[in-house]
Chain A
């Protein structure tokens, strides 16, 4: 059913994308499109800045004036509630004005009309596009074509990247576990369709994580996944042994072609996270999920709501991390 095939004019293939596109001449972050190309120092700086925004929850006025007078456009070509809402809240807590534009991902959305949409919005003097699109590379495409005063933030493009999700996951792990060098992190489930997993693996590698494991049936793993620097497990019991963090992925039924999986019931039997399987991991192993969780498909409700779950914390931290990225991208746009 791959609907990405309906919009091939955007990009021929995600492939290696120019990392330099993310930075301006002074080396400052101008767009955030993918985790690839970010240095360990920059990721640490983003997480440190997010730490300060997280402390803002103690204020009675939970708002800072950093982006006053700026306009952020949430340009969503693909349905999303949590991501759009947290981006909207992040922008509003930075005092920006927010415009939400949902463009249904129909076959009429072609390259030309996308550029038209961009030109029209640019003519309204907006400052940032937060883009979600079903086609891999869509955010890069937009970044390559926007006016010089506009920044682009990738909120998920096809199977390619979801950098702010990976950053908020790193923030959550760092808050609970500290140093990444000593950690064993397992990512479980539909790696093949997951832009979240791809961004997480890059971020975990850049932060020098001790060991990264992916646990999935062969049919839900990308070819040559080992080249990303991960250890592959097809058996969840072996894969969960002694891990410090387990990240469950959503089974992306809407992106799935027939035949990849026998049934959801069988997936849960083989790969679902249950209490009994979680017990194989380290005693204080964190349970994470980017949401929305399919209860009873990839994760048992008792685990999702259990004491080791930090799924709702991820949502809370998502706002602080997005505030950090937005303010770093937008600051200093005028040369001193």
Chain B
């Protein structure tokens, strides 16, 4: 991927995502789904999409710390936040939103958590960034942009205001 995709104005990317999502939802006959963002970056992206789509239900927020598959190795995430789904999920069409789709493990955990709240009619996955490196059969239906990164690189969404993407080499992390 070229450098300019990184510097793409995120507002433009979000507008494009919202448009794609809108078309997709109306084509499916589910124009007013419930939306759930995954803490923390996913919530920021979800807030932006939620506004643009004008959804009637309030935004749900999920912290997947209790469902991570690496808990027994690295322990509890130090800043776990409460999950709040201010609606029943049974028979609802859900748009699940995250900032970066990489291995797919976060989405696996989020799906497990959602199913502990009930049985949704469908789940659509929307992500701001997808990068290569999937370890599970999980793909996004709507992706803002695709990034090709080396395994030693990390992409992170900083925010909430303004939102900006940051690519760093993992070795440089403290």
Chain A residues engaging chain B, CB cutoff 8 angstroms: 28, 45, 48-49, 51-56, 58-61, 63-66, 327-328, 330-336
Instruction: Please report the C-alpha to C-alpha distance between residue A272 and residue B76 in the assembled complex, in whole angstroms.
Output: 43
The 7 A-B residue pairs whose C-beta atoms are closest, nearest first, are: A332-B75, A331-B75, A55-B82, A64-B66, A61-B116, A331-B76, A52-B82
Name the CB-closest residue of B to A64.
B66
B171 at the interface (CB under 8 A from A): no
A60 to B88 alpha-carbon distance, docked (Å): 10
B73 touches A336 (CB 8 A): yes
- B5 in the interface (beta carbon within 8 A): no
CB distance from A125 to the nearest CB of B (A): 14
Find chain A residues with CB under 8 A from B74 CB: 331-332, 336
In the complex, whether B118 has a CB less than 8 A from a CB of chain A is yes
Q: Please, which residue of chain A has its CB at the minimum distance from the CB of B112?
A: A65
What is the count of residue pairs linking A and B with beta-carbon distances less than 8 angstroms? 67
- The answer on a CB contact under 8 Å between B83 and A55 is yes
Chain B residues positioned under 8 Å from A328 (CB to CB): 75-76
Verify A49–B85 contact, CB threshold 8 A: no
CB closest residue in chain A, given B69: A65
CA A332 – CA B76 in complex, angstroms? 7
Number of interface residues of B (CB under 8 A): 25
Shortest CB–CB separation between residue A332 and chain B, in angstroms? 3
A60 to B75, Cβ gap below 8 A?
A: no
Cα–Cα distance between A63 and B112 once the two chains are bound (Å): 11
- A61-B117, A331-B75, A332-B73 given. 6 additional CB < 8 A pairs? A55-B83, A60-B116, A61-B115, A64-B66, A332-B72, A332-B75
Q: Which residue of A lies closest to B83 (CB)?
A: A55
A52–B83 touching, CB < 8 Å: yes
Q: Residues 62-88 of chain B: 1 if any A CB is under 8 Å from the residue's CB, otherwise 0?
A: 010111001111111011111111000
- Contact of A54 with B66 at beta-carbon distance under 8 Å, contacts A60-B116, A65-B112 already known: no
Instruction: Please measure, in the bound complex, the distance between the C-alpha atom of A234 and the C-alpha atom of B74, giving whole angstroms.
Output: 50
Complex Cα spacing A28 to B39, Å: 24
CA distance A52 to B76 in the complex (A): 12
Question: Do B117 and A60 touch across chains, with their CB atoms under 8 A apart?
Answer: yes
Set of chain B residues within 8 Å of A52, measured between Cβ atoms = 63, 65-66, 80-83
Min CB gap A271→B, angstroms: 39
Q: In the bound complex, what is the Cα–Cα distance between A109 and B80 (angstroms)?
A: 42
Within the complex, the shortest CB–CB distance from B102 to chain A, in Å, comes to: 18
Chain B, 75-132, CB within 8 A of any chain A CB? 75-76, 78-85, 112-113, 115-118
A53 to B76, CA, bound (A): 12
Q: How far is the CB of A333 from chain B (nearest CB, A)?
A: 7
Q: Are B72 and A333 in contact, with the CB atoms below 8 A?
A: yes
What CA separation (Å) do A52 and B79 show in the bound complex?
10
* Bound CA–CA A53/B81 (angstroms): 9
Contact B71 A59 (CB under 8 A): no
Q: Is the CB of B81 within 8 A of A28?
A: no
**Are B80 and A48 interface neighbours, CB within 8 A?**
yes
Q: How far is the CA of A48 from the CA of B63 in the complex (A)?
A: 13
In the complex formed, the residue of B with least CB distance to A333 is B72
Q: How far is the CA of A55 from the CA of B66 in the complex (A)?
A: 12
B73, B79, B116: which contacts A334 (Cβ < 8 A)? B73
A49 touches B76 (CB 8 A): yes
CB-based contact B75/A64 at 8 Å? no
The interface residues of chain B lying within 8 Å CB-to-CB of A54 are 82
Residue contact A63 to B72, C-beta cutoff 8 Å: no
CA distance A333 to B71 in the complex (A): 9
Q: Which residues of A contact B116 (CB under 8 A)?
A: 59-61, 63-64
